[in-house]
């Protein structure tokens, strides 16, 4: 796999396996707003950023990976979130579940409660149609969705595990590990390789992923860009 695909996964996902979710203008592309808040440009130039500007609604916020974006009139770049890109090695042994837990396959009929749960952990990243990007599993307690995880970006042989979250009142019970383990097993069965992204400051999540067998591949940055006018 080409190394540059990992530098800017949203670009390669939108140009290949997830093109159906994209909006395009020249060298710029973005996910439809109700699908995911990610955008990309094929080359770092003011021309491509002006093309991106044309794809955004007024005050719309998107995140870009890779090099720091150039500023053009009408686009404000005001924040960078340091992150890590993690890979599950192709030949690594799958983790074993410490204790059985019932997992429920989620669908877009569950989109509203999926968005509500993710708002607790990372507001704005999970949208009403993010559920269309892949397979999602959840854990329910007394009928309430209290934990979930699923797939987001897909490019080349890789699927990204994402939206790993547990309601604060139900943490510490191994739910995240069970959900990620389920997705890893599905990827291995179906011939996919697994990757994920997490904030560099999220030490608990990073420790969990390392325990499950992920390795840190590289540091990455998520740049927040807003159409200001």
pLDDT at 194 over 50: yes
Whole-number Cα distances in Å, 94 to 44, 134, 180, 185, 198: 39, 21, 11, 7, 20
pLDDT at 155 over 70: yes
What angle do helix axes 175-190 and 203-212 make, rounded to 10 degrees?
Answer: 50
Q: Which domains does the chain have, with CATH numbers?
A: 4-81+222-227 (3.40.630.30), 85-220 (3.40.630.30)
Cα 134 to Cα 179: distance, rounded to the nearest angstrom: 14
How high is the pLDDT of residue 72?
A: 95
Which of 219, 23, 208, 31 lies closest to 129 in space, CA to CA?
31
Cα 180 to Cα 169: distance, rounded to the nearest angstrom: 19
Digit-coded pLDDT (tens) for 102-112: 999 999 999 99
Cα 76 to Cα 15: distance, rounded to the nearest angstrom: 25
Using CB atoms within 10 Å of the CB of residue 4, give its burial: 0 to 12 exposed, 13 to 18 middle, 19+ buried. exposed
Digit-coded pLDDT (tens) for 13-58: 999 999 999 999 999 999 999 999 999 999 999 999 999 999 999 9
């Amino acid at each position: 796999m080409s190394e540059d695909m990992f530098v800017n996964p949203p670009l390669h996902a939108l140009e290949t396996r997830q093109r159906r979710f994209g909006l395009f203008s020249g060298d710029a592309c973005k996910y439809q707003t109700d699908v995911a808040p990610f955008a990309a440009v094929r080359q770092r130039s003011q021309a491509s950023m002006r093309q991106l500007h044309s794809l955004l609604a007024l005050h719309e916020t998107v995140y870009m990976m890779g090099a720091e974006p150039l500023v053009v009139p009408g686009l404000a770049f005001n924040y960078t979130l340091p992150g890590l890109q993690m890979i599950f090695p192709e030949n690594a042994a799958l983790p074993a579940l410490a204790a059985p837990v019932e997992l429920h396959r989620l669908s877009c009929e569950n989109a509203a409660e999926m968005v509500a749960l993710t708002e607790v952990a990372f507001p704005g990243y999970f949208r009403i149609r993010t559920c269309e990007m892949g397979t999602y599993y959840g854990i329910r307690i007394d009928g309430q969705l209290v934990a979930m995880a699923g797939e987001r970006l897909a490019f080349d042989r890789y699927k990204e595990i994402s939206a790993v979250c547990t309601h604060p009142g139900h943490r510490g019970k191994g739910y995240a590990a069970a959900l990620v383990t389920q997705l890893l097993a599905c990827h291995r069965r179906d011939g996919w390789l697994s990757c994920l992204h997490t904030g560099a400051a999220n030490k608990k999540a990073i420790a969990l992923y390392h325990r499950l067998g992920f390795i840190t591949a590289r540091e990455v940055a998520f740049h927040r860009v807003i159409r200001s006018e």
